[in-house]
Structure 1
Amino acid sequence: MTLRNFWGWGNEDKAFDDRQISQLRQLVGLQFGDAELACQALPVLADLDMPDCRLQPPASLAPMISSDRRDRASHTYGKSFRDIVRGLAGDYRCAPDLIARPSTEQELLDVLDYASSIGAAVIPYGGGSSVVGGTEPRYEGNWKGTVTVDMERFNRIIEVDHQSRAAHIEGGIYGPALEDGLRPHGYTLRHFPQSFEFSTLGGWIATRSGGHFATLYTHIDELVESTRVVTPRGALETRRLPGSGAGPSPDRLFLGSEGILGFVTSAWMRVQERPQFRATRTVHFGEFLQGAEAVRRLSQSGLYPTNCRLIDAREAMINGIENGSKHLLIVGFESADHPVDGWMERALEIVTDAGGAVQANRQQKPDKDQAGDWRQQFIRAPYMRDGLIRLGLVAETFETAITWDRFEDFHRGVSETVNRVTREICGKALVTCRFTHVYPDGPAPYYTVIAPGRHGDQVKQWDEIKLAVMETLIDLGGTITHHHAVGRDHRWGYDRQRPELFAEVLKATKKTLDPGGMLNPGVLI
């Protein structure tokens, strides 16, 4: 039986083994030379620093409640760098007391009533893949305990409307099960975040998840037709409509609400026919900004490629693609209706005019499928990140978005800040960048930071780097997150980014739907 890793990413049997850790050590040694790279031992469940459960639920809730040690450990943290470091160290002092798994809305309301009656905080939990402290019981307040509500039993595809091409899907379904359920109907949701295997539909909606496809429908927002939400005040459901001008959208209220207003128990989602035609090509650039200009032109062409990933040379090299001398642009198209060769031909004309060198296609060089290499590394990246952390490195990412007119100065400013601050704190630094999503008015740059860490101080080191990063992102006009949500770790930056009057509106909404403030306290407000 495959077990989810309680301290790190994904499944235990896919974590980096000794051979892969050794390869990582050699790769990092090429970058950082004399850095000490002793591999940290894995935590032992019985030895975790975890307090006893403080809550005694009534017998009526017993069938859906767990206080199992592994269960509590697995629901303590998300999957950020600071989460993995603390998990490896066996620090589970903030573990939730109980894990509830309701299977009906009435059972969910029963759990909320119980928590309210005893003064416990409640944390909505989908797949637990948050990298911003969105699921961690870390908050202020005099709470008597914590109940984490795992929505995994809300896992059905309820109905498929073939005429409208939409599907009614429960919020706790994981990505693979969702796609498996749509496949017999010939459909796909076509939403593939990096966390796809270990995240849920409700989590995507609550965090305004960004999918793998890089243009047009990049966020889950565009795919939501209606939602049903259970709040401490009761359930509400929005009307199914292709579009409406009837006031502010109630669906938008819950998109990005991060569990502070209620639980997304189900949603009607716009689905698509499964693609039959595909084409992918790789383009090389000598300068990253040259590649960025090519992407700008392509994003404004109206072609809307499904894949438009600009990867800087160092990131490509770290992931085993090329030798670090060229920046890569991966361009892809797909369609369920028609061949895409014409779209690809025009896209390659655009990027060539911008100075790109188009690489031989897959049929000509099957042993050098760089797009396929990147796709596999993209899926494996979180496992590699965990391996780097075990070697004692600071290894984390941050992402943002900025308009094209400000990108060059923004990228220069962010890169300078991150390199300077990381070197001051860690001595050395490797900072890379790629575009995950692009729009006609701007890109979403995604930065990776790898640096030597000090054992016992890695969290403090990253927190200092992250503070400088957030200040720079805000000061230069970017967003503190493009698709990783706010959680608790981005709160400071979010407070600066949003208008103050909007903050007051959000607080009033929270007070209306969750009068006791027990849902995910400390997140967003």
Structure 2
Amino acid sequence: MPMDTTSTSRRAGHARSWWGWGSPERALPDAECLALAQLVPGAAHAPRPVPPIASLDLPPARIPMSPTLAHLMSAAPADRAAHTYGKAFRDVVRALDGDLSAAPDLVAFPQDGRDVADLLDWASGAGVAVVPYGAGSSVVGGVEYRAGLHAGVLSMDLSGLNRVLEIDRVSRAARIQAGVLGPDLEAQLRPHGLTLRHFPQSFEFSTLGGWLATRAGGHYATLHTHIDDLVESLNVVTPVGVSRSLRLPASGAGPSPDRLFLGSEGALGVITEAWMRLQDRPLHKVSASVAFTGFPAAVEALRAIAQSGLHPANCRLLDPGEAALSGVARGGESVLVLGVESAHGPVDGRLAELVALARDHGGSPADPAPDGGGSAADAWRSAFLRMPYVRDGLARMSVISETFETACTWDRVPELYEAVRREVGAAVHRVTGSPGLINCRFTHVYPDGAAPYFTVVAPGRPGQEVAMWDEIKSAATETLGEHGATVTHHHAVGRDHRPGYDRQRPEPFALVLHAAKRALDPAGILNPGVLIDATAS
């Protein structure tokens, strides 16, 4: 069923912070920044101001606009500033410092696949690097050009490709443009009683194309954990042509063409459309929280649930530090947040089975939240969505507040958890002079393993925050590698995770990746430096 193709672009309809996370109006005010900093000994005494765009010292654009494509391009300071960095801690700090030396020379806003192809043709001929840009929520340096090998840099903002083009209600799937933001996608599916049901923490400020290009993790803590599981076919524009895979429920015909581009982070082509598997909107939802006095017992309960075949939609375990930070528990307990949903019938029985499994491992009901105002599950959800704004507020106070995530098999989980707290903790103390906080939650679980997600909070020194975080991050990467854990479970590789990724991938696969890059992007213009080293023709 074809869809109405009229829509408003994100530029006009969705204000985003140029320097930090999300909506400008939801950024923490100075008073709240000060209050938070009081909880971190050694924090700055006053919040660093947010520089107005008019005061920024942007480098001059090195390349002229294409005469035939100028209607798609912008050199406006606001556009260049907003497309310079992603949203990692180091990005926020540099933006607050007014350091926009990495700003793209031009920003392009294609409106369809033909525009994308024309822009790639121009850039290939001009030796201009092209950085595909969904909504800029990368936390791994995925949208920041660092190669220094090209005549200039074009940030390709795909926000104009923001429509659901077609719905197949019988097969329960839709053809969707890659630049659509999460809320806009769900709004277009809602009248049809359908949903993609993919809700990463960045849902409001990330796009379908970004999810696909980074193999994003979403709402489901079990079963369909990654966007990969929801893909029927992809349409990808490359410098040498368009790759459109056959739309099928499954196929055994050789290596999957979609798998080549899923997780390719814009280095092999620009994803412009995808047929995505949908589902009926859930009508039945229940949740519960279970507290544990010992973290090892909580981990065993988590494993039992992951291996039970009950497939809860939500299954997040918070260690004592994370539970306290989220306002879910204050007495040193670990808290397991469970949720079950269905479009077809009540799910109370399934939740009861899950809670019973947790009880078998020493858990007890954790509701309500200690601060009142609802359940522990509600308190966690609220803190989860607000945490990026808290991170930005702490950055203004020169407090290092950042995360890293991983995954490993169950036999390695206990050792990895303790190693990160010990070894990364030692790095935090060495770098900052403070023990800081190292908390953990498990965001996704599988029958054979889990995905721990660590939070680091420690005082930084004004002017040295980026270097300090980089040293801590390096220690974290080393620890993950030494214990057989992945450098990233769902944040992608970008440029920041390249050292760990280079060690993790098999060498024959690295050869194939380099060959694919040369074949699909002969001029070496597409997002140089992600996944493999940058080259230029």
Q: TM-score range by the shorter chain?
A: over 0.9
Among all aligned residue pairs of Structure 1 and Structure 2, give the percentage whose two residues are the same amino acid.
Answer: 54
Q: Which residue of 2 is the match for residue 415 of structure 1?
A: 421
Q: Which residue of 1 is the match for residue 243 of structure 2?
A: 236
Q: Which residue of 1 is the match for residue 145 of structure 2?
A: 137
Which range moves more in the overlay, 479-488 or 116-125? 116-125
Q: Does 1:154 align with 2:166?
A: no
Q: Which residue of 2 is the match for residue 194 of structure 1?
A: 201
Which range moves more in the overlay, 35-44 or 228-237? 35-44
Structure 2: which amino acid aligns with 1:98? L
Structure 1: which amino acid aligns with 2:143? T
Q: Does 1:290 align with 2:297?
A: yes
Q: Which residue of 2 is the match for residue 385 of structure 1?
A: 391
Q: Which residue of 1 is the match for residue 37 of structure 2?
A: 25
**Distance in 2 between the 1:20 and 1:442 partners?**
38
**Distance in 2 between the 1:366 and 1:79 partners?**
32
Q: CA deviation at 1:493?
A: 0.5
**Distance in 2 between the 1:360 and 1:260 partners?**
46
Q: Which residue of 2 is the match for residue 504 of structure 1?
A: 511
Q: Residue by residue, what CA displacement relative to the aligned partner does 1:123-171 show, whole Å, maximum 9, x if unpaired?
A: 0110100000000021142x11001100111111011101100011001
Structure 2: which amino acid aligns with 1:239? L
Q: Which residue of 2 is the match for residue 180 of structure 1?
A: 187
Out of 130, 146, 149, the position equivalent to 1:122 is: 130
Q: Which residue of 2 is the match for residue 276 of structure 1?
A: 283
Q: CA deviation at 1:211?
A: 0.2
Written as runs of structure 1 = structure 2, the 5 A alignment for 1:93-492 is 93-141=101-149, 143-360=150-367, 367-428=373-434, 429-492=436-499
Structure 2: which amino acid aligns with 1:286? T
Q: Which residue of 2 is the match for residue 49 of structure 1?
A: 57
Q: CA deviation at 1:47?
A: 2.1
Contact 1:140 1:522 in 2 (8 A): no
Unaligned runs of 5+ residues in structure 1 are none
**Distance in 1 between the 2:116 and 2:475 partners?**
40
Contact 1:182 1:188 in 2 (8 A): yes
**Distance in 2 between the 1:189 and 1:327 partners?**
31
Structure 2: which amino acid aligns with 1:86? R
**Distance in 2 between the 1:200 and 1:234 partners?**
23
Q: CA deviation at 1:267?
A: 0.3
Q: CA deviation at 1:504?
A: 0.5
TM-score by length of 1: 0.97
Q: CA deviation at 1:366?
A: 8.1
**Distance in 1 between the 2:195 and 2:513 partners?**
33
Contact 1:316 1:324 in 2 (8 A): no
RMSD of equivalent CA atoms: 1.4
**Distance in 2 between the 1:135 and 1:409 partners?**
34
Q: CA deviation at 1:114?
A: 1.4
Q: CA deviation at 1:441?
A: 0.5
**Distance in 2 between the 1:225 and 1:196 partners?**
21
Q: CA deviation at 1:231?
A: 0.3
Q: 1:391 to 1:360 in 2, by over 3 A?
A: closer
**Distance in 2 between the 1:216 and 1:302 partners?**
9
Structure 2: which amino acid aligns with 1:100? A
| Secondary structure, aligned partner of 2:456 | strand
Q: Residue by residue, what CA displacement relative to the aligned partner does 1:287-340 show, whole Å, maximum 9, x if unpaired?
A: 222111100000000000000010112222222232142111101100001110
Q: CA deviation at 1:369?
A: 1.2
Q: 1:251 to 1:107 in 2, by over 3 A?
A: same
Q: CA deviation at 1:2?
A: 6.2
**Distance in 1 between the 2:44 and 2:178 partners?**
44
Q: CA deviation at 1:360?
A: 4.7
**Distance in 2 between the 1:177 and 1:464 partners?**
38
Q: Residue by residue, what CA displacement relative to the aligned partner does 1:87-127 show, whole Å, maximum 9, x if unpaired?
A: 00000011000000111222111111211121111101101
Contact 2:233 2:246 in 1 (8 A): yes
Q: Does 1:10 align with 2:22?
A: yes
**Distance in 1 between the 2:148 and 2:507 partners?**
22
Dislocated runs of 4+, deviation >3 Å: 34-37, 359-362, 365-368
**Distance in 2 between the 1:497 and 1:431 partners?**
24
Unaligned runs of 5+ residues in structure 2 are 1-12, 533-537
**Distance in 2 between the 1:74 and 1:169 partners?**
25
Structure 1: which amino acid aligns with 2:54? A
**Distance in 1 between the 2:43 and 2:156 partners?**
42
Q: Residue by residue, what CA displacement relative to the aligned partner does 1:460-504 show, whole Å, maximum 9, x if unpaired?
A: 111111111111101110000000000000001100000011000
**Distance in 1 between the 2:483 and 2:148 partners?**
31
Contact 2:30 2:47 in 1 (8 A): no
Contact 1:123 1:259 in 2 (8 A): yes
Q: CA deviation at 1:361?
A: 7.3
Out of 99, 111, 131, the position equivalent to 1:91 is: 99
Which range moves more in the overlay, 311-320 or 266-275? 311-320
Q: CA deviation at 1:81?
A: 0.7
Q: Which residue of 2 is the match for residue 63 of structure 1?
A: 71
Q: CA deviation at 1:450?
A: 0.5
Contact 1:281 1:361 in 2 (8 A): no
**Distance in 2 between the 1:320 and 1:451 partners?**
19
Contact 2:295 2:319 in 1 (8 A): yes
The alignment of Structure 1 onto Structure 2 pairs a total of residues equal to: 518
**Distance in 1 between the 2:179 and 2:235 partners?**
13
| Secondary structure, aligned partner of 1:226 | strand
Q: Residue by residue, what CA displacement relative to the aligned partner does 1:387-423 show, whole Å, maximum 9, x if unpaired?
A: 0100111111000001001111111112111110100
| Secondary structure, aligned partner of 2:38 | helix
Structure 1: which amino acid aligns with 2:493? V
**Distance in 2 between the 1:163 and 1:459 partners?**
51
